[in-house]
Amino acid sequence: MGIGVFATVTQTVDETAAIKVCAKHGVKFEVEKREKGAGVVHTPVMVVEADAPEKPEDLKPRPPVVTIMGHVDHGKTSLLDVIRKANVASGEAGGITQHIGAYTIMIPHPERPTELSPITFLDTPGHAAFSSMRARGANVTDIVILVVAANDGVMPQTLEALSHAQAAKVPILVAVNKCDHPAANPLKVRQQLQEKGLVPDDWGGETIYCDVSALTKTGIDKLLEMIVLQADLLELKANPDRNAKGNVIESGLEPGGPTATVLVRKGTLRVGDIVLCDHFYGRVRALINEDGQRMKEAGPSHAVKVLGLNGIPDAGIGFSVVDDERAARDLAEEREFKAREESQQGRSSRVTLENLFQTIAAEGNKVLKLIVKADTQGSAEAIVEALRKIETNKVKLEIIHDAVGTVTESDVILASASKAVVLGFHTRIDNGVSEVAKREGVQVKLYSIIYELIDQVKESMAGLLDPLLREVVVGSAEVRKIFALSKGGAVAGCAVTSGRIVRGKVRVMRKKGLIYEGVTQTLRRFQDEVNEVRAGMECGIRIEGFDDFQEGDVIETCTVEKIAQKL
C-alpha cells in the first residue's frame, strides 16, 4: 500500500512493485523468464449463450401464449377475469391495467374432452403510453386476441394494437366484447376491421370472430375453444429437456429483492438454475406462479416470477440459463462495463470556444428536469416514453434518472443537485425522505394514474415559459381645448369617448399616428385630483414632458397584461 499498489492476497503484482517490497524486507529477488508462449494455458473458452439447433424428435407440444390487446376500456381485463375467474380490473387505478400479468389456465380440448389443454395469457395494458411494453407483448406471443367493444367499434388504439400484431406476423382472433350492450353493433365491427384486412371467416376470410360478453359470460367457451383449435393449427412445439431460454415480461423491486416475471420459451427453468439476463445474473432462489404458490420448475410457455437476480432487468429482454456461474458473472460484468462506457460517452460533451455561445444559449433555455420512480420496469419505461413524446421547442424535458422502487434519499439528493422534480408512480416515499426533501427544497409528487402524471408535467412545462406581455387599451379621450398654465406647460381639456381614463401610462395619437408615450402627471375633474374618469365625462390631463397638444388629439391609457404561454 505504501507504494500505491492495492492487491489482495491471491493477486500477482508486477516486477517493479515486487522488487521494492523485497528490498524493504531484505529478501533476495530473482526474476525468471519463460520462453515465449510457454506460460499460456489454453483453457477452453466457455460459450455461455450458444443456442444449439433442436432435433425434431426432442420437440414436444407446448401451450400457446395468447396476448389480449385492444383499446383502453374495451373490456380486456374483464374478459381475462371471466377466463381466470379472478378480479384484476377492480384493483387497477382508474380501471387501467398498468402491469403485464401472465396467467396459465387449463380447459378441456374441444375435440378430445378428456384431455386438458393449457393456455397462457399475457394481459398487456391497452393504454397508449404502454405501447413499448405492448410491442414486446406482441413479440413473445403466438396468438393475439383483439378485443373490440361492440358499442364503440374500432378506435385509434385498436388500430395501433392491430399494427403491432401484424408487424409481429401473429395470427389474430377478434373478440367482439360488450355484445349485451343495448347499443351493440357487432356487424359494424366486422365491416370496420374488414377494411383493415381482417376478413371474417363466415364472409370467406381467414379471421375468426367471436361475439362475447364479459358481463353475462356468454361466448367465452367458444372463444377458448377457438384459441385451442388455432393453437393446434400452429403446431407449437418446444424442447423441454434443455436449458431454459425466454423473455422478461415485467420486473420490479419487492421486499425480498429484485423480481422478474419471465416467460419460458424453450427448456425448463428450475430452482437453483443460474440465469443470465442482460448485465444481471443470479441463481434462481424461488419460482412463484400467478397464484403466489412456490413451484419447483416452469416448462415452455409458462410464466413465473423469479427471485434471485442481482438487479432489475429491463422488460422484454431475453434471459438464458447457463451452466457455469463464473462465466455468467464475467459476461454480466463485461456487459455492464460496456453499457456504462456507452452512457459515459453520451454524457461527456465538453465546452469548446466554438460551441461556447451555443452552450450559453442552450443553458439559457428553459429545462424541466425529472426523476421518475415506478413500481415496475415496464411502467417506468412507459412513462419515460410518454414524457419524451411531449412535443415542444420552447421547453426542454430532461429525464435525469428513471428506476424501479420507492423514492429514496439518494433520489432526493440527486434531484437537489440537479434542480429536478421527483415523480413517483404507484410507489411510496421511504421513511425520513420527506424531511430530507423539505430541507433540500425538492418537490416529490406521487401518482397512481398515468394520464394525471403526464398532464401535470405538461402544465409545469408551460409554467416555466415567460408570460407573453400584451398592451390593452383601457380607454381613450379626445382633446377639445388646451389651457396654458401661468407657470408653464399646458393642460389638455378632454372628453372621455370610450372606456375609462386612469392614471399611469398614456399615449398621444394624432391622426392615428403615435406622437408621444409617457405617464400622466395630473388627472383632474373640475378642481379635484382623481384616479379615473369614465366615458362621457370631461377632465383635464397633464402629461409629464409633453405640452404640445392640439385640438383633436386622442389620449389613450393602456395597461400591460400577462398571458400564460402554451407549449
Q: Which of 131-145, 313-327, 485-499, 544-558 has the lowest mean pLDDT?
A: 131-145
Q: What was the pLDDT predicted at 207? A: 86
Q: What was the pLDDT predicted at 43? A: 43
Give the closest residue to 118 by CA, choosing from 236, 33, 14: 236
Q: What was the pLDDT predicted at 566? A: 75
**Mean of pLDDT values over 10-19:** 82
SS3 97: coil
d(CA 365, CA 395): 7
Give the closest residue to 66 by CA, choosing from 185, 210, 194, 201: 210
Give the closest residue to 252 by CA, choosing from 125, 81, 98, 89: 98
Q: What was the pLDDT predicted at 478? A: 93
For residue 73, count CB atoms less than 10 angstroms from its CB and return exposed for 0-12, middle for 13-18, buried for 19 or more: middle
Residue 132: which pLDDT band, with cuts at 50, 70 and 90? low
d(CA 201, CA 454): 41
**pLDDT tens digits, one per residue of 420-438:** 889 999 988 888 888 888 8
Q: Which of 74-83, 353-362, 520-529 has the lowest mean pLDDT?
A: 353-362
Global confidence as pTM: 0.59
Phi, psi torsion values for 46, nearest 5 degrees: -75, 115
Hey, CA dihedral for 405, 407, 408, 412, is it positive or negative? positive
Q: What was the pLDDT predicted at 363? A: 60
Q: How, if at all, do strands 65-70 and 297-298 pair?
A: unpaired
Task: State what percent of residues in the chain have pLDDT above 90.
Answer: 10
d(CA 121, CA 66): 5
> What residue has cell string 406581455?
469
The yes-or-no verdict on residue 113 having pLDDT over 80 is no
What is the CB neighbour count within 10 angstroms for residue 490? 15
**Mean of pLDDT values over 468-486:** 89
Q: Which residues contact residue 166 at a Cβ distance below 8 angstroms, ignoring those fewer than 6 apart?
A: 172, 197
In the chain, the domains with their CATH numbers are: 1-33 (no CATH), 57-238 (3.40.50.300), 245-340 (2.40.30.10), 357-464 (3.40.50.10050), 468-563 (2.40.30.10)
d(CA 10, CA 511): 96
Beta strands, E only, 219-273: 237-238, 245-254, 257-266, 269-270
Could you tell me if 304 and 30 are in contact, meaning their C-beta atoms sit under 8 angstroms apart?
no
**pLDDT tens digits, one per residue of 537-548:** 999 999 988 888
Q: In whole angstroms, how far apart are CA 119 and each of 236, 266, 319?
A: 12, 16, 22
The yes-or-no verdict on residue 98 having pLDDT over 70 is no
d(CA 236, CA 143): 11
d(CA 447, CA 431): 18
Q: Which of 39-43, 260-264, 357-361, 487-491 has the lowest mean pLDDT?
A: 39-43
Q: What was the pLDDT predicted at 538? A: 92
SS3 string, 292-318, reads CCEECEECCCCEEEEEEECCCCCCCCE
The yes-or-no verdict on residue 167 having pLDDT over 80 is no
> Longest Cα pair distance anywhere in the chain, in angstroms?
118
Q: What was the pLDDT predicted at 66? A: 85
Residue type, 98: Q
H or E, element range at 534 = strand 532-534
d(CA 314, CA 297): 23
- The DSSP code sequence of 371-382 is EEEESBHHHHHH
The yes-or-no verdict on residue 378 having pLDDT over 90 is no
Q: How far apart are the first and last CA of the chain?
A: 58
The CA angle 326-327-333, to the nearest 5 degrees, is 90
d(CA 293, CA 429): 29
Q: What was the pLDDT predicted at 45? A: 44
Could you tell me if 324 and 274 are in contact, meaning their C-beta atoms sit under 8 angstroms apart?
yes
Could you tell me if 258 and 312 are in contact, meaning their C-beta atoms sit under 8 angstroms apart?
yes
d(CA 540, CA 320): 90
What is the CB neighbour count within 10 angstroms for residue 522? 14
Q: Which of 110-114, 366-370, 377-381, 511-515 has the lowest mean pLDDT?
A: 110-114
d(CA 127, CA 154): 15
User: Which carries the bigger pLDDT value, residue 212 or residue 157?
Assistant: 212
Q: What was the pLDDT predicted at 475? A: 92
Q: What was the pLDDT predicted at 36? A: 67
Q: In whole angstroms, how far apart are CA 15 and each of 12, 19, 30, 31?
A: 9, 6, 10, 8
